[in-house]
């Protein structure tokens, strides 16, 4: 049928009105424009980089970094090469993202659930939390947490001390096992707190900011998901004498999750990307290390390629993970 129409039109309609030619033409023009632009930009890039003596090279990755990183999961010192520094930064980012994800999910779920509470006050607090936090920029919240809240903590002997836990201006110190199986609490050595487990205030500020901010968005996702479950489900469960919490856990949540999980995916990815704001509170994440590296080596283009691909991979990883979870929670068709 289509062929006959086209055959007809080929005889009677000029080519510029041919329904088969136009799309090809449009695409060709767009492709041409894009290609010219890319060629133009790349040409300039190569010319400018050659002029500056900075043509793409990756050898610098193996040179010693020369700077220290204060808080790393992977051991790092100034003598190790740049790629180890970047890796340490990446691991620091992943650490912040992982803890942030868990924290934000817990906080968000609690706040989302609270907006269905029978207690009006609790509902109000959940509402205020969401509306307050979502309308204030994350960066502002981060610097607030760091420069206002955490840096006004007491220091040294005046620090907040609980059994096995010390909260000081320099960080949170927790008791734990050291040198094998010896239980060691935080202690003040030479005016500096020491403990087996230590979280710096920079990490603390970043985490608090990320958790509180993402928590508000996740609360909305959870609330939307639960609200999408028909009211009849609640009423039916209540009429069967099932308690509120059991209803929520066994009847409502499994249905709500199908709506919630895709929304969570978006929030998780934006949390991962927002972790790059760590640079504002002095936590050495991937972005911060990359910026220092760029500055010490001058390899702007290479460092940016690495940085952008690292974040893309991180996002992709979260997406794949959440797609897996999504599969698990979807209705099994029988």
| Total chain residues near another protein (CB under 8 A) | 89
| Residue 203 CB coordination number (10 Å) | 23
| Residue 202 CB coordination number (10 Å) | 20
R_g of the chain computed on alpha carbons: 27
Nearest distance from residue 134's CB to another protein, in Å?
8
The H or E element spanning position 154 is none
Per-residue binder mask for another protein (CB under 8 A), 309-328, x = binder: --xx--xx------------
| Residue 138 CB coordination number (10 Å) | 18
Nearest distance from residue 332's CB to another protein, in Å?
25
9 binds another protein (CB under 8 A): no
- Minimum CB distance to another protein smaller for 136 or for 321: 136
Nearest distance from residue 72's CB to another protein, in Å?
11
246 binds another protein (CB under 8 A): no
Separation in Å, CA 95 to CA 88, 103, 116, 249: 10, 12, 32, 30
- Minimum CB distance to another protein smaller for 19 or for 327: 19
Footprint on residues 186-205 left by another protein (CB under 8 A): 189-192, 194, 201-202
User: In this chain, which stretch among 10-18, 69-77, 80-88, 223-231 interacts with another protein, using CB under 8 A?
Assistant: 69-77
Of the candidate residues 170, 208, 214, 267, the single one contacting another protein (CB under 8 A): 170
56 binds another protein (CB under 8 A): no
* Strand bridging mode 197-200 / 171-174: antiparallel
Per-residue binder mask for another protein (CB under 8 A), 200-229, x = binder: -xx---------------------------
Of the candidate residues 8, 13, 52, 106, the single one contacting another protein (CB under 8 A): 52
Helix intervals (H) in the chain: 2-12, 21-51, 82-114, 120-134, 138-143, 201-227, 231-239, 244-246, 253-274, 286-297, 300-329
3 state DSSP class of 161: strand
Beta partners for 6?
none
Contacts of 49 by beta carbon, 8 Å cutoff, 6+ apart:
55, 56, 301
- Would you give the DSSP letter of residue 148? I
- Minimum CB distance to another protein smaller for 134 or for 249: 134
Q: Looking up tokens 């010693």, which residue turns up?
A: 64
78 binds another protein (CB under 8 A): yes
Footprint on residues 105-144 left by another protein (CB under 8 A): 118-122, 125, 131-132, 134-141, 143-144
245 binds another protein (CB under 8 A): no
d(C-alpha 30, C-alpha 15), whole Å: 19
What's the half-sphere exposure (Cβ side, CA atoms, 13 Å) at 181? Answer: 0
Footprint on residues 16-45 left by another protein (CB under 8 A): 23, 26-27, 29-34, 36-37, 40-41, 44-45
Nearest distance from residue 183's CB to another protein, in Å?
22
Nearest distance from residue 56's CB to another protein, in Å?
12
- Minimum CB distance to another protein smaller for 17 or for 254: 17
Per-residue binder mask for another protein (CB under 8 A), 290-309, x = binder: -xx-xxxxx-xx--x--xx-
Please give the full DSSP string across 186-214, using - where no structure is assigned. Answer: -EEETTEEE-SEEEEHHHHHHHHHHHHHH
């Amino acid at each position: 049928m289509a062929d006959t129409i086209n055959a007809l039109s080929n005889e009677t309609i000029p080519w510029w009105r041919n329904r088969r030619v136009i799309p090809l033409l449009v695409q060709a023009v767009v492709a041409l424009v894009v290609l010219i632009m890319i060629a133009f930009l790349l040409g300039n890039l190569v010319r400018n980089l050659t002029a500056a003596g900075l043509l793409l090279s990756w050898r610098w990755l193996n040179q010693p970094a020369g700077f220290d990183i204060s808080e790393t999961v992977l051991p790092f010192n100034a003598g190790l090469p740049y790629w180890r520094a970047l890796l340490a930064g990446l691991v620091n980012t992943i650490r912040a993202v992982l803890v942030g994800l868990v924290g934000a999910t817990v906080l968000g779920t609690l706040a989302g659930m609270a907006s269905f509470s029978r207690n009006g006050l609790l509902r109000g607090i959940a509402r205020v939390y969401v509306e307050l936090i979502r309308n204030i920029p994350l960066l502002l919240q981060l610097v607030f947490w760091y420069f206002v809240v955490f840096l006004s903590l007491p220091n040294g002997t005046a620090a907040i001390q609980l059994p096995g836990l010390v909260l000081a201006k320099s960080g949170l110190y927790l008791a734990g096992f050291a040198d094998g199986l010896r239980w060691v609490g935080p202690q003040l050595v030479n005016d500096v707190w020491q403990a087996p487990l230590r979280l710096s205030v920079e990490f603390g500020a970043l985490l608090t900011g990320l958790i509180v901010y993402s928590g508000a968005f996740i609360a909305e996702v959870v609330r939307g998901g639960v609200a999408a479950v028909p009211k009849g489900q609640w009423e039916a469960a209540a009429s069967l004498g099932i308690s509120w919490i059991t209803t929520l856990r066994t009847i409502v949540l499994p249905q709500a999750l199908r709506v919630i999980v895709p929304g969570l995916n978006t929030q998780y990815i934006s949390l991962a990307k927002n972790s790059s704001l760590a640079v504002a509170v002095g936590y050495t994440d991937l972005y911060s290390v990359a910026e220092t590296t760029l500055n010490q080596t001058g390899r702007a283009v290479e460092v940016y390629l690495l940085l952008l691909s690292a974040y893309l991979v991180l996002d992709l990883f979260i997406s794949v993970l959440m797609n897996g979870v999504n599969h698990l929670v979807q209705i099994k068709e029988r």
